[in-house]
């Protein structure tokens, strides 16, 4: 592999990173080839001692994604960072993919339950209004249709309010979990950097 | 030597080299690869991350007959992080040494008993 091929492969591996970042990184390797050439080394030799540009690109990408998730712990950033870190090696599949997907799944489940609760509440409210307007559609012995409708209506409102309050709490909890995951990824990267790729 | 070991000490090596004098990338990488068998290209990501953490800063300096070189200079924060890593490393390697010499200890104890 010569200088051009190495830099081209690295550039491809860095696709998706900000242009400034990519230019900075490529410049460092450009400079490395330059210094090596001045020493009289062959480009192929320099490229060989540098290592696989794809692996190197993955390391830069993982660092960048984790830093980004640390700055803004959104689902997108955290998921992206987790994937980039998993891409660094099999070891991470176990220690990153597992915990991250478990947290995502748990959060998703609770959110889905909340949505179901909200939908049921809305249905109950609509049904009670409908019942109050057209009591003759239903036959409920002994109970005043209007009173029943009113009761069900407030039950629905109560359930809807409850789901709204829970949704706000879940919003905080979700953000908290994402931040925790971002920190975990950073920690993970440092540990791996210390033991594997430093 | 096992790859995991080598890589474990790399941050400490980089910080220590820079604590002695400012270096440009190639110089730093060569100093490390002369002593440790490592894929040289993997040192640059480390440099970038340690820079981002504020452990060192960079500046450009004209070189004779070439484009200006990017030099790395250790910051105060970098100095204290280096000391921290060195302590960790010293404790770790002392522990490994102790374990490696346990058979001798046991032999001595055995001799004393008999």
Please check the confidence at residue A14 and state whether its pLDDT lies above 90: yes
Q: Which residues pair with B66 in a beta bridge?
A: B63
- Split at pLDDT 50, 70, 90, the class of A196 is very low
Alpha-carbon distance A190 to B7, whole Å? 11
Tell me if A193 and B42 make a contact (CB, 8 A cut-off): no
Indicate the residue of B4, B45, B67 with minimum beta-carbon distance to A59: B45
Half-sphere exposure for B85 (CA within 13 Å, toward CB):
20
* Residue indicated by tokens 């069900």: A152
- Split at pLDDT 50, 70, 90, the class of A140 is low
Please check the confidence at residue A198 and state whether its pLDDT lies above 70: no
Nearest to B77 by CA among B60, B52, B59: B52
CB contacts, 8 Å: A55 with chain B: 39, 41-42
What is the complex's ipTM, to 2 decimals?
0.81
Alpha-carbon distance B83 to A146, whole Å? 77
For B3-113, the fitting CATH number among 3.90.1150.10, 1.10.630.10, 1.10.10.10, 3.40.50.150 is 1.10.10.10
Domain ranges of chain A: 88-197
Tokens of A195: 């033991």
Please check the confidence at residue A195 and state whether its pLDDT lies above 80: no
What is the least distance, in Å, from the CA of B56 to any CA of chain A? Answer: 16
- Split at pLDDT 50, 70, 90, the class of A150 is confident
CB contacts, 8 Å: B42 with chain A: 51, 55-56, 59, 197-198
CA dihedral angle for residue B14, residue A53, residue A4, residue A16, rounded to 10 degrees: -100
Residue B55 confidence (pLDDT): 93
Q: State the average pLDDT for chain A.
A: 87
Residue B73 confidence (pLDDT): 96
Residue B4 confidence (pLDDT): 45
- Split at pLDDT 50, 70, 90, the class of B20 is very high
């Amino acid at each position: 592999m010569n200088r051009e091929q190495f830099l081209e492969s690295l550039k491809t591996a860095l696709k998706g990173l900000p242009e400034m970042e990519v230019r900075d990184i490529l410049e460092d390797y450009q400079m490395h080839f330059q210094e090596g050439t001045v020493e009289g080394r062959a480009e192929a030799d320099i490229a060989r001692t540098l290592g696989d540009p794809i692996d190197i690109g993955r390391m830069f990408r993982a660092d960048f994604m984790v830093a980004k998730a640390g700055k803004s712990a959104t689902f997108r950033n955290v998921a992206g960072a987790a994937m980039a870190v998993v891409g660094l090696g099999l070891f991470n599949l176990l220690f990153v993919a597992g915990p991250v997907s478990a947290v995502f799944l748990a959060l998703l489940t609770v959110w889905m339950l909340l949505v179901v609760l909200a939908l049921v509440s809305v249905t109950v409210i609509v049904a009670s209004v409908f019942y109050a307007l057209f009591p003759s559609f239903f036959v409920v012995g002994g109970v005043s249709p209007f009173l029943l409708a009113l009761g069900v209506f407030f039950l629905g409102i109560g359930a809807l309010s409850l789901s709204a309050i829970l949704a706000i709490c879940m919003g905080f909890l979700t953000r908290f979990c994402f931040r925790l995951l971002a920190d975990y990824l950073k920690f993970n990267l440092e540990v791996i950097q210390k033991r594997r790729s430093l | 030597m096992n790859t995991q070991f080598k890589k474990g000490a790399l941050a400490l090596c980089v910080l220590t080299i820079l604590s002695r004098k400012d270096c440009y990338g190639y110089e730093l990488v060569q100093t490390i690869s002369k002593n440790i068998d490592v894929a040289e290209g993997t040192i640059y990501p480390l440099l970038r991350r340690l820079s981002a953490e504020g452990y060192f800063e960079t500046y450009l300096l004209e070189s004779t007959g070439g484009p200006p070189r990017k030099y790395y200079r250790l910051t105060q924060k970098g100095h204290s992080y280096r000391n921290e890593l060195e302590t960790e490393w010293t404790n770790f390697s002392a522990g490994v040494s102790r374990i490696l010499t346990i058979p001798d200890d046991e032999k001595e104890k055995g001799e004393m008993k008999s």
